[in-house]
Structure 1
């Protein structure tokens, strides 16, 4: 009988604990609202940025110190730098309680590992508990953090690249470049491309009503240094879109990971594939590193499951090396050729570079550079070395041309 009593007592203690825990969980769920933010989602950046500047957080006692927030998981961000502030950012560690408006918030940051292809994948989770809160109050915090984040990013262009784990990693947030800072020839071509992008972005219902996939592709081709990537950056600034850059020669890319990457980009963005001629020489081969196949590339950008609503830009120095299947209509809708500087282009660029230059000095630069001899990058390099002295820049330019 004694043994039975011990067993029953043990069962009773176990049941009591389980009932107590169940009651505690039920009360906790009724009184505390929790929300989890994952580092692979945009909302994580909004909340991290909001927390780093919250007055209550600055009064804490335990911090993680960062000189850049881009390392907080694949979606981490680098906050706008202010010369008046120290380039050090403090974030709470472990469990932190802060007061926000009428409620107490408990913040928990945890970092874990996922497995992807056998390699550890950095991932961070942030959980906010709102004591006595509601979904409306949670959404209010999310909206507040998003608006604050977007206000800072309003005049900037965000650039994402695919990392070694096939996730998007934000590497830069740059002041948006104005379109008129890109000097291509003829000059009205840049505005025409911008207008075409705007018309596409506003035409979702038009495409749907006609059963046409809502996609737009651009091929920018020509010699190196002629302004292809610069134009993409300026368009992103004018359209207020982020740029997502993929290197097709990456050894980590496979057909599945490439499709996942593209579908994981922002719903409205510029997708940039640079130097597409260098990745595939044969449609039946894999890319230079042996991962992504040519058919995988085509399916990702134009297949049934391909994302819609984005602008696809591909650049190449050698259009003639591209497979016709890659640049057929529907995948590439607009071809834009970039050439080395025309004389008129030289004049426009020199005048925009040296703001106080005289007409005679501009004419001297124009006369010195024969059409089609220099790329805009070569011209810029000469001017940068003598940015305070047009005569010295002109002298070096003549030396360069004579050596060529």
Structure 2
């Protein structure tokens, strides 16, 4: 009896131990579950509170605004306290866009390696920088990403920061002309940022022609509503033709400087240019801009279904310029040395609205150029240059080359001009 009771006692003790382990395991599981739920719930609540207290905006190097905000961050006084930064002399390595480059001597862009906190107009702004990889047409490319998290901010505050950044960026560029060219990846790349050229530096004949073209361009840019009301595509095309060195490209640069427009240059001989990439390039240029196609006669001489250059066809060229999907609000300038070689379809009204012929130097052009070039020259000495250059004999480029070669000696410059004229007369390269 004693042994049985002892056995029962041990059996009860065994089951009590089992119950304790099971109960303890359940309690631990329950507590762990509560901890996990509490942690996730706490994280969810904290994230929700953080999102409600901050306003977040993202900028990618594919867009023009990336340059505005990057330049603004670089000049913010709080950024001077950052200890880990990346330094760039341009934006070229930050991603494909319109990856322009504001590369100027002594000018740099500073960006955080990871993150940095800035304070602006009473708000704290956390700036985070990272990269994103995108793939298009089996080609991978990296883009820089800037995220601005504004504590207590709002959309209106963000827009005010963006407008401030844009205004500051454009103020630094207002006296410059930005020039873009398509690179090997068929992306716009800023190849130059030059001091804006004055219209008075372009010597044309008759003298008032340059002013007339600028007025025509300005009127067009201000007429979007008028064009829409008449059902006319908002486009304007100009053909500049004449001997090389007569100032065609110089006029385009001066117009860009006068109207504060960027210039987008497409080289039709680019072997990677296709119908699709040509249309895409044109549509990704700025709306208010100048599209420049130089030496169009060198790309093709007659209409055909064959390639113009690389894989670009003649029809692809025309569709890109003024097809249904082509961009409006842009000034198209085409230059050629041989107007007679161009296909009528390219220069028909609607594609080319204004044709402008350039000539070799007339006496009035020689007079103005020499007067502007030499500070201490008399009227009689100027007339010697005019008499030495028969009308329509030498180009502005040839005259300029002679003067630059002897910039400190007007007498030697005059001798050089006479020598060039004599050579051209002997070779019969004159048009007068």
> Counterpart in 2 of 1:246?
266
Which residue, out of 54, 70, 77, partners 1:48? 70
Q: What secondary structure does 2:204 align onto?
A: coil
Q: What secondary structure does 1:287 align onto?
A: strand
Q: How much does 1:78 deviate?
A: 4.3
Counterparts of 1:300 and 1:58 in 2: how far apart (Å)?
47
> Counterpart in 2 of 1:302?
322
Q: How much does 1:238 deviate?
A: 0.9
Counterparts of 1:131 and 1:349 in 2: how far apart (Å)?
60
Instruction: Report the aligned-residue RMSD.
Output: 2.4
Counterparts of 1:130 and 1:43 in 2: how far apart (Å)?
17
> Counterpart in 1 of 2:51?
29
Q: What secondary structure does 2:308 align onto?
A: coil
Counterparts of 1:88 and 1:169 in 2: how far apart (Å)?
18
CA contact (8 A) 2:71 2:109 kept: no
Q: How much does 1:17 deviate?
A: 6.0
Name the TM-score, length of structure 1 as normaliser: 0.91
Counterparts of 1:260 and 1:190 in 2: how far apart (Å)?
31
> Counterpart in 1 of 2:163?
143
Which residue, out of 283, 300, 309, partners 2:304? 283
Q: How much does 1:122 deviate?
A: 4.4
Which residue, out of 312, 325, 331, partners 1:311? 331
> Counterpart in 1 of 2:119?
99
> Counterpart in 1 of 2:88?
66
Matched positions, count: 399
Is 2:404 aligned against 1:384?
A: yes
Which runs of structure 2 are paired with 1:4-403 in the superposition (5 Å)? 19-73=41-95, 74-79=97-102, 81=104, 86-281=106-301, 282-289=303-310, 291-403=311-423
Counterparts of 1:285 and 1:95 in 2: how far apart (Å)?
53
Q: What secondary structure does 2:111 align onto?
A: strand
Identify if the C-alpha distance between structure 1 residues 13 and 148 changes in structure 2 by more than 3 Å, giving closer, same or farther.
Answer: same
Counterparts of 1:264 and 1:8 in 2: how far apart (Å)?
59
Q: What secondary structure does 1:129 align onto?
A: strand
The Cα offsets for residues 293-330 of structure 1, whole Å up to 9 and x where unpaired, read as 21111111111121111111111112222111111000
Identify if the C-alpha distance between structure 1 residues 89 and 263 changes in structure 2 by more than 3 Å, giving closer, same or farther.
Answer: closer
The Cα offsets for residues 12-47 of structure 1, whole Å up to 9 and x where unpaired, read as 777666545543432232122111112122211111
Counterparts of 1:65 and 1:360 in 2: how far apart (Å)?
56
For structure 2, the residue ranges without an aligned partner over 5 or more in a row are: 1-20, 425-432
Which structure has the bigger radius of gyration? Answer: 2
Counterparts of 1:396 and 1:200 in 2: how far apart (Å)?
43
